[in-house]
């Protein structure tokens, strides 16, 4: 595997499972239900391919999202089981620009991927989404994402907002073909959502989001 491959699979496990949300990281703009305008990538071309994938570990909700309000989806590769996700085939430069926007940095600089490709992990900063993680390979190309450097046990769970769940849900449907009931059950069981959101409440939220205005 080269030090800096031309193409990588960017793996989203939260709101970015929804192609319409990722589009606003690539082309720029404010996603529906969000509060922040994204500057976009230097290369605004859409992903070359999209795949439904599963990644080792689990997803929980914690911290606070400036974009959506409520808790953020955070990935912990050391949790038991596997999590549904979506992989997008993008250029290495696009991956760097997506990562920069998630880290609330200005896009425009290529990332050195050598450490994450060699070691499976590379901490770029102390904040949320500032640690690159390797998630295996697909079609001979690396699968990469980002998360926090701490484990789930180090932070308090925080319930996600309706707008956030209303973005993650369609992403699970589009990527994995899940029905509303399965999506609602999965999201309601995530730490942070559990005990605050019930499957029925999430199902109603997702049904309302799909209903024409």
Of 188, 124, 184, 131, the closest CA to residue 154 belongs to 131
DSSP-derived pairing of the beta strands 141-147 and 58-62: unpaired
Distance CA 183, CA 173 (A): 7
Distance CA 152, CA 172 (A): 22
Residue 75 reports pLDDT greater than 90: yes
pLDDT at 80: 96
Residue 1 reports pLDDT greater than 80: no
Q: Is pTM, for the whole model, over 0.85?
A: yes
Q: How many residues does the chain have?
A: 213
Over residues 2-8, mean pLDDT: 75
pLDDT at 155: 97
pLDDT at 210: 67
Q: Are 198 and 188 in contact (CB under 8 A)?
A: yes
pLDDT at 67: 85
What kind and span of H or E run contains 209? helix 199-210
pLDDT tens readout for residues 159-204: 999 999 999 999 999 999 999 999 999 999 999 999 999 999 999 9
Domain parsing of the chain, residue ranges: 7-154, 162-210
Terminal Cα-to-Cα distance of the chain (whole angstroms): 49
Instruction: Find how far residue 178's CA is from the centre of its chain.
Output: 17
DSSP-derived pairing of the beta strands 131-138 and 58-62: unpaired
In 44-197, where do the E strands start and end?
A: 49-56, 58-62, 72-76, 82-91, 121-123, 131-138, 141-147
The proportion of the chain whose per-residue pLDDT surpasses 90, expressed as a percent, equals 84
């Amino acid at each position: 595997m080269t030090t800096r491959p031309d193409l990588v699979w960017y793996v989203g496990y939260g709101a970015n499972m929804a192609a319409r949300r990722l589009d606003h990281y690539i082309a720029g703009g404010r996603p529906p239900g969000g509060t922040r305008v994204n500057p976009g990538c230097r290369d605004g071309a859409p992903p070359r391919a999209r795949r439904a994938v599963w990644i080792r570990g689990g997803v929980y909700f914690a911290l606070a999202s400036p974009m959506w309000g409520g808790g953020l989806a955070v990935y912990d590769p050391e949790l038991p089981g596997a999590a549904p996700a979506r992989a997008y085939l993008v250029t290495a430069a696009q991956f760097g620009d997506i990562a920069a926007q998630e880290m609330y940095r200005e896009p425009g600089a290529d990332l050195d991927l050598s450490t994450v490709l060699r070691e499976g992990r590379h901490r770029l900063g102390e904040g949320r989404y500032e640690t690159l993680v390797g998630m295996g390979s697909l079609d001979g190309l690396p699968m990469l994402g980002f998360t926090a450097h701490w484990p789930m046990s180090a932070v308090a769970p925080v319930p996600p907002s309706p707008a956030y769940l209303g973005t993650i849900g369609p992403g699970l449907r589009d990527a994995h073909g899940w029905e509303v009931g399965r999506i609602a059950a999965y999201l309601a069981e995530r730490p942070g959502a559990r005990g605050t959101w019930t499957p029925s409440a999430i199902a109603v939220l997702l049904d309302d989001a799909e209903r024409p205005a």
